[in-house]
Amino acid sequence: MKARNDWKWMMGSLLLGTLFASGMIPANAEENAEGTWETKNIVVGSDNDNTGTYYGGLFSGQNMTGWTKGEDYTLSGSQEFKDAEISVGKGTEGTESFTNARLIGTALNGNTLVLTGDANTPITFSGNNITSYRENSNINSLGIGGGLVYGGNSMNLSNVVFDRNTTTITGGYVIGGVAGCYLNKASGLHNVAVTNNTANGLVAAGAVAAMSGDDNTATSGRYFALTGTTTFDANTSTGTAATGTISDGQTRYAVEGGALHVEANMYLGGLDGNGGATLTFSNNEAKATTDNSGVAGGAVFANRSTYVNTDNNEITFSGNKATGNATAYGGGLYAGRSSVNEGTTGYEINFGGTGNTITFENNSATAADARGGAIAALKQGSIPVDVKFSGSNNTVTFTGNSATGTNSKGGAIYTDSNVIFSGTNNTVTFSGNTAAEGNDIYAGGSVSISGTGTYVFDGGITANTLSIDGANVTFEAGSISSVNSLSLNNATLNMKLSDASSFHTGSLSLTGENQVYVYSSLTLAGTQQLFANDGTEDWSGYGENWKVFMPENSNLIGIVTTDAGNLVVEAKTVEKGKIYDATTGEVVTGSLSDVKASANILIPENQTAVAINIEGRSETNLTLQSNDTTVKTIASEDVAIDTNGSSLTLNLDNIQFNGKAINAGAGNVVITGTNAAFIHTGEDIQENAVITAKSIKLAGGNFTIGSIMVGDTTIGDEVEGITHLTVGASSSAATDYEIVGNFSTEAAQINLDILSETSTDKLTITGTTTFGENTVFHFSSENYDVKLGDSFTILTSKGLIQGIENLIGTGAWGDRWAFNVSGNETEGYSLVATAAIPEPASWLMLLLGFLGLRFIRKR
């Protein structure tokens, strides 16, 4: 034994002496190096002693009869348990009968078990081989529970490694090949690596198992959490007998979880206050070798709910396999079957939280009846198990998952309940998933997609119902979808048609305004079917309620008609220089009197001339939009839109005017827009202003203005959000943008470029200027570094400048700007923005911070 000369050795010696004295470390356990224990060829149970329950402790050894379940047990520091050969029921004369016996926690056994390794030197269990021999194949009896470590009440492991351990049982079943516990309290893993372990038995329930405890109530607070950097890689569980029924009437699959088995609510990334985890399940396999056998969960089996409700986690399921003969459910993750009835509200797999990256790639389920290449969720009796994607700003990807077999369903996701997509700004992508039915999703219930976000399916959906509410959904070329009913409400659909594409639905319900962008690799000669029904539904009249656009071929637009109950896209040639009604596809010329008062005009290409004269109306609602996502330019020598004095509400979608845009005369104009621009450099104000009206309001959009507007102008929102006004079409030259009339702001951000110490974009107002609350001036500078004390005149006004106390300055130099008004009624007023020196209180804080750093450095 090598010499030790530090305090840790003294404390370790005291601990080891105590353990030897208590009998927890047997005399035959040899300490080969500091913290390393090797115990070779331990035989548990003799020829005449083959029954009972055996609880281990630190590789405690021969003939463990009479041991009792461990008390609370805590191990910390650096320990290694390796290369033991532990056999149960094998006497010295060879293999003997070993009936109705249990082996629990051969290395460590405790009631409340806590293992905490050093961050750089974890507690390690490697190369151990546990074998149990039985002649009784009765599935009701436990064979091995927590092969190496076991917690009878709970188990919490931190900085622990299980590597290359093997657990094998003949005739019985394995619950947790390397670690297991019964859950009466919260348990979990933090910074734990479980790699290259194997479990073989009648039911091999993963490398790690957390089973139902004595307290089987819904309010007991039992859960299992995975946090930190935790990895399950290349673990294999093999079931050597058929699926069977245990004593409580539940069906046990031959294998339940190739790597992890949890019978409580599971939290990936922990609960509130955790998050930031990196969890990886890769190349694990659950497989069965017997006819009529089945597996569930190539990596994870969870028979209650699974949640991701914390933030900034990275969770990956990659290359996991569920391989059975009769059935294989959930190549990556399986949920279903509960040992207790905890009500009828249902269970769920719910990927929520904020800023999470969740990836399922190349997972597979293979059997005659294969379901859910990545995820499978089955009802627990009559209780549903829904698969949900919620939260915000999450990125979820399903790529290359497969369900393979004569009855394969759900290449990525299978559930006999519902799949629910919701949340804010989530991006969910399905690509390259395959199955006989439902390449991406197969749902026995409904698939619903709502909220903001982007959803892409390149395989297709098979479900009872599909509903899309306000979301942006794309079906890629080659996708095949079939639903009994389809409902859309204010939805945006991108249909990428090809020879192999199809979308079949029985009934159709449309509410709100729905837009369909049809991308086609085909040459549309005449018509092409968009949606087909089963022949029992009357869809006549739906055609005019769709807005259908063909952006890939800019000389085509699509008009929806009905033909024998099917919705059909009818191709229509668009000529350059003309504008078209987006609903009827007809050319709009001269006047809008022959189209609806609320007209939707499609701009298919850059327009060299557009003239829309609106006559005889007191109010007109007009939409001008690009026929794809690129900005389209209307360039006209004449006024593009002339209301002849009536008022106009205009919605612009990726439209730029290069010339005189709107003349409303004595009418009022309200404009909303996405990437809307008004550019003109004419000198004559009355003739060449981009917008002329009695009053002009820019509301609810992003606007770039590089010329003059005539009329009392308001920059602000009528809806939630902030209107952005960018002054000047270019950042290479300063723009003096003039508003003829009064100017006011509500909720607005005004963007100005700083070009040099003496040159910046500027507003010139002929009337009074009034700033509303929280008006933001945002300064950007590409070629000039702003310095403290630099001042810029950003606005001149012939009338008063009011509400200066409401101004906020950002960009170019920190977030601290000071604003000052100078001038008089005769000469006019100027608004000056100064990159201000911090206030005295700020200087004091900076000084204290500097002194604090200096103090730390000295120490």
Specify whether the CB–CB gap between 748 and 776 falls below 8 A. Answer: yes
Q: Which of 169-183, 262-276, 480-494 has the lowest mean pLDDT?
A: 169-183
pLDDT at 426 over 60: yes
pLDDT of residue 344: 52
Q: Which of 342-356, 688-702, 837-851 has the lowest mean pLDDT?
A: 837-851
**DSSP string across 791-821:** EEEEEEESS-EE-GGGEEEESSSTT-EEEEE
Rounded to an integer, the average pLDDT of 670-682 is 84
Can you give the three-state secondary structure of 506-523, one letter per residue? EEEEEECCEEEEEEECCC
pLDDT of residue 427: 96
pLDDT at 657 over 90: no
H-run or E-run covering 743 = strand 743-745
Q: How far apart are CA 605 and CA 627, in angstroms?
A: 8
Specify whether the CB–CB gap between 113 and 151 falls below 8 A. Answer: yes
Burial of 152 (0-12, 13-18, 19+ CB in 10 A): buried
Rounded to an integer, the average pLDDT of 763-774 is 93
pLDDT of residue 610: 60
Q: How far apart are CA 250 and CA 338, in angstroms?
A: 8
Instruction: Dig out the tokens for 180 from the structure.
Output: 């297991």
pLDDT at 356 over 80: yes
pLDDT at 849 over 50: no
What CA–CA distances, in Å, run from 429 to 361, 371, 395, 454, 831?
11, 20, 8, 8, 49
- Residue 234's pLDDT band, with cuts at 50, 70 and 90, is very high
On whether the pTM is more than 0.75, the answer is no
pLDDT at 339 over 90: no
Q: How far apart are CA 97 and CA 209, in angstroms?
A: 27
Burial of 500 (0-12, 13-18, 19+ CB in 10 A): exposed
pLDDT of residue 239: 83
61-93 confidence digits (pLDDT tens): 333 333 334 456 566 766 676 666 665 544 333
Ramachandran category for residue 675: left, alpha or beta (phi over 0 → left; psi -120 to 50 → alpha): left
Question: For tokens 């060299």, what's the residue?
Answer: 608
Q: How far apart are CA 781 and CA 804, in angstroms?
A: 23
Q: Where are the beta strands (DSSP E) in 596-664?
A: 598-603, 612-613, 619-626, 632-636, 641-642, 647-653, 655-659, 662-663
pLDDT at 307 over 70: yes
Q: How far apart are CA 816 and CA 805, in angstroms?
A: 14
pLDDT at 278 over 90: yes
Specify whether the CB–CB gap between 502 and 528 falls below 8 A. Answer: no
Instruction: Dig out the tokens for 504 from the structure.
Output: 């079949």
pLDDT at 186 over 60: yes
Q: Which residue has the higher pLDDT, 546 or 457?
A: 457
Q: How far apart are CA 422 and CA 425, in angstroms?
A: 9
Q: Helix (H, G, I), strand (E, B), or coil: what is residue 23?
A: coil
513-536 confidence digits (pLDDT tens): 777 777 766 555 556 677 777 666
Phi, psi of 373 (to 5 degrees): -60, -35
pLDDT at 618 over 50: yes
707-758 confidence digits (pLDDT tens): 889 999 999 876 567 889 998 877 778 888 899 999 999 889 999 999 998 8
Instruction: Dig out the tokens for 223 from the structure.
Output: 């859960």
Phi, psi of 18 (to 5 degrees): -65, -45
Pick the most confident of 240-249, 308-317, 488-497: 308-317
Q: Of 307, 284, 188, which Cα lies nearest the Cα of 233?
A: 284
Q: How far apart are CA 282 and CA 819, in angstroms?
A: 58
pLDDT at 553 over 80: no
What single DSSP character describes residue 30? E
pLDDT of residue 428: 97
Beta bridge partners of 266: 224, 306
364-419 confidence digits (pLDDT tens): 999 999 999 999 998 877 788 999 999 999 999 999 999 999 999 999 999 999 99
Q: How far apart are CA 201 and CA 144, in angstroms?
A: 9
Beta bridge partners of 810: 778
Q: Where are the beta strands (DSSP E) in 62-178?
A: 73-77, 80-82, 85-88, 90-91, 94-95, 101-104, 108-117, 123-126, 129-133, 144-145, 149-163, 166-170, 174-175
Can you give the three-state secondary structure of 43-58, one letter per residue? EECCCCCCCEEEECCC
Specify whether the CB–CB gap between 693 and 673 falls below 8 A. Answer: no
Q: Which residue has the higher pLDDT, 399 or 265?
A: 399
pLDDT of residue 38: 38
pLDDT at 219 over 50: no
Can you list the pairs that 637-640 forms with residues at least 24 positions away whose Cβ atoms lie under 8 Å? 637/609, 638/609, 638/611, 639/611, 639/663, 640/610, 640/611, 640/612
| % of the chain at pLDDT higher than 70 | 68
Q: Of 210, 144, 157, which Cα lies nearest the Cα of 180?
A: 210
Beta bridge partners of 487: 467, 509
Mean pLDDT of the chain: 77
Rounded to an integer, the average pLDDT of 798-824 is 90
pLDDT at 767 over 60: yes
Q: Nearest 10 degrees: CA dihedral of 823, 829, 830, 831? A: 110
Q: Which residue has the higher pLDDT, 206 or 823?
A: 823
466-516 confidence digits (pLDDT tens): 999 999 999 998 899 999 999 999 888 888 877 778 888 888 888 877 777
Rounded to an integer, the average pLDDT of 112-121 is 85
pLDDT of residue 858: 40
- Tell me, rounded to whole angstroms, the distance of Cα 496 from its chain centroid: 24
State the pairing for strand pair 236-239/285-288: parallel
pLDDT of residue 814: 78
What CA–CA distances, in Å, run from 347 to 325, 379, 569?
28, 9, 42
Q: Which residue has the higher pLDDT, 444 or 563?
A: 444
